[in-house]
Structure 1
Amino acid sequence: MSVFLSRPYDEHRYHLALGIEPRSSLTGSRLDAGLEVRWERYPKPVGRWRTWRPGETLTDVLPRIDRHSSGRFARRYDEEVARPMLVRLVDRQRRYVPRRLEIPIPDEATVVGAVGPHLVPDPAWRRSFPVDLFPGAAAPLTSGATVLRGHVVRQVGGVPQPVRWARVRAVTPTGAEIGWAHGDDRGEFVLVLRPARGALTVPVDPMVVELTVSRPDPPPVPPASDPDLARVDPLWDLPLETVVPSRTPATEATLTGRRFIPTFLDRAPLSPAGPLSLRHGRQTSVVLTIA
């Protein structure tokens, strides 16, 4: 039945099922080309699914979610979708730390009914999501930024081992939050420090910060039912975060990434112990040893 046009005309309508807008966690701006959004749909176990060429990864063969000229990634209901959609956001140049998301979307009947004869719009926030990505090891940073570059490790048998996908939060001695970082598969993170929100005075130099590091607990192991997964998928143990749709996405932690994963263990680092003193406008490097 034609809804928007008179009866003699044919009508084709396409409804958005999922929209993703990757943004910089530092500036809030839409990220440029080079980023990929892939749908995590593949047969399991991966070792029986296909013959893997040397250097080929699971991300290489996952279905793409197309990027539109607006810079957003989108999929329509007339294309194949799942409810929920499991996606991964990946930057192969390591400028941004990847994220894996489970995104609930409404069924098409709900959307069609909401934009039907009564023209009541289905709210875009239920299907379109701005997602913050955090700087990686090769991130382009502005000059004059106060940056802590770090490596999170654990001592295993007296040998330091990188902690994959750690998260780091920085606060002032009074508890004011001044920075977040996501660690990568090598245990590396880039933490850009900002004045506390609402601060009315210039921070003292050097800046004193206290860190909390969050890590998987216990460390994940490859699933016994899919033993080849860790070999072909560098992101096999990257936490899958369930997104909460929100009318105010700028304050929704599952979208901004400014939160610790609920299943992780959150602790102050063992070394260096205590607060760090960082000079304004400079980059400082540190190795954080955690329990």
Structure 2
Amino acid sequence: MNVYTPDRYDESVVHLALGVELRDAISGRRLGAGADVRMERFPRPVGKWRPWRLGETLTAVLPRMHRHHTGRFVSRYDEGLPTTVDLRVVDDDNVGATRIAGLGRRIVPRRVRITIADEADVLAAEADPTKPPHPLFRRSVPLWCMPGSAADLPSRATVMRGRIVRLDAGSGALVPVRWARVRAQNATGDDVGWAHGDDRGEFALVVEQSANDIVVPADPVPISLTIGATLPAPTPDPADPLRASVDPLWDLPLETVVTSPTPEVEASLTGRRFLPGQAQLSPLNPPQPVDLPHGRETSVVIRIA
């Protein structure tokens, strides 16, 4: 029996289970074709799942979300999607005509967990005209992505490009802090920017105007940094030893995001918060605050331990 059209017509109805829109954290615009969303559905341990070719990564073999011509990513209920979905957001790299999954650096990867509505609840709301429709925001999720080390940043922006390091007790060398997060605050304690660090400890922080600024800030502008880092650094799971070799994101923490009718102020969606389990640290070097000249890029190495 048809639902929307007379029975003399063939009817096929599908329902959106999850829609994801990737946005640039600086401009707020939708990200271009290089960004990709993969579903984290794979057996563990990965070494017993399949043979791995040299250079092959887990991201490359994970199932993709379908990319709509609008640039959004979609999955339908008839695809057997569970109500709790783990995703990874990555940037694909292009080498000539070859697209390499997840190895680009225009955005910093994210791993997120999203709980979506059960299909029965959606259908029940549609079937009863006396009830309001099921809220679309519970199945349509925008995710903001912070710029990576290879991002094209706005001209004349005030930018700090940096690398976060720590002292390795075993070797005595300075090693990168993977997947750090950086919060910048002005002299009055207002947030003026966030950044995500990548697997090499590199980040790109664009300084924004504070919500309380009514005049142009001083030049140079002093900012204080707070670094979110997972210490001690994670070690590979002995039950899945190959994971760290084939998965570049093996130690990137999984964030649980909250769907919201006002997503632009929900920190789990915008990424303007520290990751689960991260300690909040002040840099040992350079001394705080750091003076940044307006309209220029400043490079710095930040040591936290």
TM-score bracket for this pair, using the shorter chain length: over 0.9
Distance 1:247 1:13 in 2: 26
User: Is the CA contact (8 Å cut-off) linking 1:171 and 1:178 kept in structure 2?
Assistant: yes
Match of 2:208 among 183, 187, 194: 194
List aligned pairs for 1:73-84, cutoff 5 A. Answer: 73-84=73-84
The runs of 5 or more residues in structure 2 that have no matched partner are 93-103
| Corresponding residue number in structure 1 for 2:98 | none
CA positional deviation for 1:172: 0.5
The runs of 5 or more residues in structure 1 that have no matched partner are none
TM-score, normalised relative to structure 2 = 0.93
Distance 1:161 1:174 in 2: 32
List aligned pairs for 1:197-208, cutoff 5 A. Answer: 197-208=211-222
| Corresponding residue number in structure 2 for 1:100 | 111
CA positional deviation for 1:51: 1.0
Which deviations, in whole Å up to 9, do the C-alpha atoms of 1:96-150 show, x marking residues without a partner?
Answer: 0000010101111111111124274211100010100000010011110100000
Distance 1:172 1:120 in 2: 45
User: Is the CA contact (8 Å cut-off) linking 1:147 and 1:193 kept in structure 2?
Assistant: yes
TM-score, normalised relative to structure 1 = 0.97
User: Is the CA contact (8 Å cut-off) linking 1:3 and 1:117 kept in structure 2?
Assistant: no
2:44 matched to 1:44? Answer: yes
Q: CA RMSD in A?
A: 1.2
List aligned pairs for 1:1-291, cutoff 5 A. Answer: 1-92=1-92, 93-118=104-129, 120-157=132-169, 158-291=172-305
CA positional deviation for 1:198: 3.5
Give me the identity figure in percent: 54
Distance 1:162 1:107 in 2: 42
| Corresponding residue number in structure 1 for 2:99 | none
CA positional deviation for 1:254: 0.6
CA positional deviation for 1:7: 4.3
User: Is the CA contact (8 Å cut-off) linking 2:255 and 2:276 kept in structure 1?
Assistant: no
User: Is the CA contact (8 Å cut-off) linking 2:253 and 2:276 kept in structure 1?
Assistant: no
Moved more, 4-13 or 261-270: 4-13
Task: Count matched residues.
Answer: 291
